[in-house]
Structure 1
Amino acid sequence: MAKLWGGRFQKSTDKKVDDFNSSIRFDKRMYKQDIKGSIAHATMLGKQNIIPKEDSDKIVAELKNILKDIEDGKVEFEIDAEDIHMNIEKILIERIGDAGKRLHTGRSRNDQVALDIRMYLMDETADIEEMLIHTLNVLVDLASDHTETIMPGYTHLQKAQPVTFAHHLMAYFEMFKRDLSRLRDCRKRTNVMPLGSGALAGTTYPLDREFVASELGFDAVTMNSLDGVSDRDFVIELANCLALVMMHLSRFCEELILWSSNEFSFVEMDDAFSTGSSIMPQKKNPDVAELIRGKAGRVYGHLMGLLTTMKGIPLAYNKDMQEDKEPIFDSIDTVKLCLPVFCDMIATMTVKKDNMLKGSKGGFTNATDVADYLVKKGLPFREAHAVVGRMVFYSIEHDKALDDLTMDEFKEFSDIIEDDIYNAISMETCVNDRKVIGGPAKEVVEKAIADAKEFLAQQ
């Protein structure tokens, strides 16, 4: 097949090179954006009298027909035509002849692909934003049911202080809320229109770039033609945003995997979101959580791959940049696959409140509260810290919890301890006296949930 760019060549491209060079197998997913961009470009060419208005109208009408035919499954793309841009242009020329050959006036595939990938990523990012909003709603709904469900909080994976499950869930709300903010911020830098940059040096035609940007819904146009065709910062930035989404999913999934083990037994995954063993009949495995955790590494790899691809490329466009699409496409697909199943998994799991409370009573999670009690009685904090440390050592030796100590035992460590210590170090008091903004007290968490619901109502 004769190439649309083949005038300078005297030999056909080697078949292996055609296969190697072609990107149609993965960039065909940008067909809508490519056609939409071409319609805006053709409309502008006619408006500016760069091509006859009659040809512009023909091009626009036929591009709309091609779009419908693609969506109806009537179009078969060809590897020999290399990419989605050349495939669509080839079909257009076959259908309307010379008028179709005028479409590429004043543009290059370099600025065309930069346009398409920006438009595609903005569309996909909008979908992911909606998924994140749904995730935030699921977390808030779950937290609303567990403002009194006490569980141990951890540092270094060692029991530290008691919190509530709602407080724990709202920590992830904050993470995914930041993800939403980052994606929206990334969209601002993606939403800049590069068409009109040409191959690298613009064009001599009197293009109306602002008109095309307005037609396509862009906020602005790129201000340097070299940068317009060679910038992939927005791809890398989105890859980073998606890696952070996966990191947050993976951290929560790691906790769910631990919590669903017999040793913790804080939660149980619903049967619909678990799998069994081919040899061990008793097994109920948290495979969904494990797979999400595993897929995080895949998205991290795409981010590093994109950075490595771009790090040594001189201005302006280079064929290396064709390698931007598969990684970012797969990152998008992976996040869009993980978020819905994650939401359904946590919405259907059983929370074992009694086990969480029992877990919070082990490991001396109220030790800090004993120290705070002593401080409020007048003891300097460092001295109180040392007293409670000795108290914990004693309790370990005698296989007791701090709140199991008798008053006589307490008095051995400090004579300022009174009967009110037992209320001061109960799990409920330990949680609900932490009323500082951002703390786990029920009233504080309920306020955080109310604020979260107000935020979500505005989305």
Structure 2
Amino acid sequence: MKGRRRQKNLIRGRFAHGRLPEVEAFTASLPFDRRLFRHDIRGSIAHAQMLAKVGLLKASEMRAIAAGLERIENEIEGGRFKFDIADEDIHLAIERRLIALIGEPGRKLHTGRSRNDQVALDMRLYLRDELAGVIALIAELRAALIRIARRHVATIMPGYTHLQRAQPVTLAHHLLAYVEMLGRDRERFEQAAARTAVMPLGAGALAGTTLRLDRRMVARALGFKAITANSMDAVSDRDFVVDFLSAAALTQVHLSRMSEEIILWTSAEFGFAALPDEFSTGSSMMPQKKNPDLLELIRGKSGRVIGDLVAMLTVLKGLPLAYNSDLQEDKERVFDALDALKPALDLLAKLWPALRFDTGRMRAAAGGFALATDLAEYLVSRGSAFRQAHEIVGAIVRETVAAGRTLEDLSVADLRRHSSAFGADAIAMLRAENSVARRTIEGGPAPSTVKRRLKEIGRR
């Protein structure tokens, strides 16, 4: 057939003809899995050392393999390595070059392993490193928020429900809500890292090998505390990938929510903060514009990361045991999620300290009708049922709105026309600072409570 050709491919000995170029291009993972080259080489060196220990390689062969692999790593890093799509993936590309460099010893490297357990190892090594980086980036963003919170323990601002002003809180309390979210994100990534750190090499294609390999030696060399217990599960398991993608998707959702709030706060309508020039984009038509493109893209990329999770789950849902090439789809999902998440974490950690808050505007927005609940709770403290107090204060709000006034404009006489339970001290309920200071319930926004929580976070 036209288009068929013989190929210099290490695993095509069984075939009389080469693949169609279209098939070769469609099935190759080399264009994206070359990103795993360092981890593939690290795993191969550990495998070679183990083969030498069990007598399947001579010491001189092992040294030649290790030196050859280190040279290949330098070639790839320096851009001198010549990739060939006929190699299919990074594993065969490195092996082909190793044989070209050192000859026969290079042909022994693949003893006792399959690309199935090899790629599982590479992915676990890669994700283990990346997860450590993600956890560090989360720590940096949390630290930035905590530093800002410490400066704004008493900065009053409105809290919102349904995007309507609800009750006064503090900027510190608001920021610490994101600190709590990121703390849970960190925990999820730490749990994902623990489940990733299991060594699969030795599972072979799916049923292990008859050769007497020392799997635990490889695990120790690569820093794994455990090895997989079932060879079929070892090569087909991508739960650890789903663990990462699930944690990444939820973290990206949290960053999206955070970005949305900064977009709102820096709008003219809110005016709570000014968007720094260094993080802003101009308009091609409107000279006055200062657009939050960075934040919009972080918000938009949440769809990509959520999509990566859904795509991976969809790949896995119909797969029989053990390995299937569908699993090749895991890499692009992981790479894509990391490429969205890591810069977002890094940039938000840089953006938050650069924001300049208009605390006066925040305070002004926190008064008015946001104090209605305080009036109702005042009545409750004087013996009223909450539903009765709710109705009384609702009538006060209705009357005050109709008069074009706010709650802060009212006198004791105004309040007592609705309920004789209001005393002179009720006026104190109509200041946002007093409202926040009284909310000392555990987990509440009172400055004393927030300071205590900041100390707890600092101890951890």
TM-score normalised according to structure 1 size: 0.97
Matching residue of 1:442:
447
User: Within the alignment, does 1:248 sit opposite 2:248 as a pair?
Assistant: no
| Cα distance between partner residues in 2 of 1:70 and 1:280 | 46
Letter in 1 for 2:450: V
Structure 1 counterpart of 2:147: 141
One-letter amino acid matched to 1:228 = A
Please report how far the alpha carbon of residue 255 of structure 1 lies from its aligned counterpart in structure 2 after TM superposition.
Answer: 1.0
- What code does the residue aligned with 1:248 have? H
User: Structure 2 CA distance, aligned partners of 1:134 and 1:157?
Assistant: 29
- In structure 2, the partner of 1:85 is 91
- Farther off after superposition, 35-44 or 74-83: 74-83
Query: Within the alignment, does 1:262 sit opposite 2:242 as a pair?
Result: no
Shift of 1:356: 0.7
Letter of the 2:384 counterpart:
L
Q: Which residue of 2 aligns with 1:304?
A: 310
User: Distance between the aligned counterparts of 1:425 and 1:220, measured in 2?
Assistant: 61
The correspondence for 1:64, drawn from 60, 64, 70, is: 70
Question: CA offset at residue 325 of structure 1?
Answer: 0.6
Root-mean-square deviation (Å): 1.1
Distance across 1 between alignment mates of 2:20 and 2:379: 83
Quick one: which of 219, 239, 246 aligns to 1:233? Answer: 239
Structure 1: which amino acid aligns with 2:330?
A: D
Q: Find out whether 1:7 has 2:42 as its counterpart.
A: no
Deviation at residue 63 of structure 1 after TM alignment: 1.4
- Structure 1's consecutive aligned runs of 4 or more residues displaced over 3 angstroms after TM superposition are none
| Partner of residue 415, structure 2 | 410
- Whole-angstrom CA distance in 2 between matches of 1:216 and 1:296: 33
Structure 1 counterpart of 2:321, which letter? L
Distance 2:20 2:388 in 1: 81
Letter in 1 for 2:194: K
What secondary structure does 2:160 align onto?
A: strand
Q: Report deviation, 1:70.
A: 2.3
- Per the alignment, in what secondary structure is the counterpart of residue 420 of structure 1? helix
CA distance in 2, matches of 1:322, 1:312: 15
Output the CA distance in 2 between the equivalents of 1:284 and 1:95.
Answer: 56
For residues 259-304 of structure 1, give each alpha carbon's deviation from its aligned partner in whole angstroms, at most 9, with x where no partner exists. Answer: 1112111111111111121112221111111111011111111111
Shift of 1:176: 0.6
In structure 2, the gaps of 5 or more residues are 1-6
* Equivalent runs, 1:189-228 vs 2, <5 Å: 189-228=195-234
Match of 1:327 among 322, 329, 333: 333
Residue 379 of structure 1 corresponds to: 384
Q: Deviations over 1:41-68 (max 9, x none)?
A: 1111110012333322321222122222
**Structure 1 residue 166 and structure 2 residue 172: aligned?**
yes
**Structure 1 CA distance for aligned equivalents of residues 225 and 33 of structure 2:** 25
Q: Give 1:254 shift.
A: 0.8
What is the match of residue 420 of structure 1? Answer: 425
- Cα separation, 2, equivalents of 1:145 and 1:52: 64
Letter in 1 for 2:323: Y
2:116 is matched with which residue? 110
Q: Matches of 1:349 and 1:51 in 2, distance apart?
A: 60
In 2, Cα distance between equivalents of 1:305 and 1:141: 38
Q: TM-score, normalised by structure 2?
A: 0.97
Identity fraction in percent: 48
Q: Report the Cα offset of residue 349 of structure 1.
A: 1.2
What per-residue deviation string (whole Å, max 9, x for no partner) do you get for residues 72-106 of structure 1? 33212211111110011001111111111010010
- The answer to whether the Cα contact below 8 Å between 2:412 and 2:427 also exists between their aligned partners in 1 is no
The one-letter amino acid paired with 1:387 is: I
Distance 1:63 1:256 in 2: 48
* Alignment deviations for residues 399-448 of structure 1 (CA, whole Å, 9 cap, x no partner): 22122112221111111211111112310111011011111000111111
Match of 1:19 in 2: 25
Cα distance in 2 between the residues matched to 1:97 and 1:271: 58
How far apart in 2 are the matches of 1:275 and 1:166? 28
Paired positions, count: 454
8 Å contact from structure 2 (residues 412, 426) kept in 1: no
Conserved? CA contact 2:114–2:205, under 8 Å = yes
Q: For residues 172-220 of structure 1, give each alpha carbon's deviation from its aligned partner in whole angstroms, at most 9, with x where no partner exists.
A: 0000111111101100110000100000111000011011001000110
Alignment-mate amino acid for residue 328 of structure 2: Q
Residue of structure 1 equivalent to 2:278: 272
Aligned to 2:182: 176
Conserved 8 A contact 1:371-1:384: yes
| Matched AA of 2:399 | Y
Q: Is the 8 Å Cα contact of residues 48 and 208 (structure 1) preserved in structure 2?
A: yes
1:95 and 2:101 matched: yes
The answer on 1:388 being equivalent to 2:385 is no
Residue type matched to 2:49 in 1? T
- What are structure 1's unaligned runs of at least 5 residues? none
Look up the SS of the partner of 1:151 in the other structure. Answer: strand
Between the aligned partners of 1:54 and 1:290, the Cα distance in structure 2 is 57
Kept in 2: contact 1:50–1:206 (CA 8 A): no
- Find the aligned partners of 1:102 and 1:156 in 2 and give their Cα distance: 65
Distance 2:364 2:179 in 1: 25
1:73 aligns with: 79
CA contact 1:403–1:426 (8 Å) conserved in 2: yes
- Number of the residue aligned with 1:128: 134
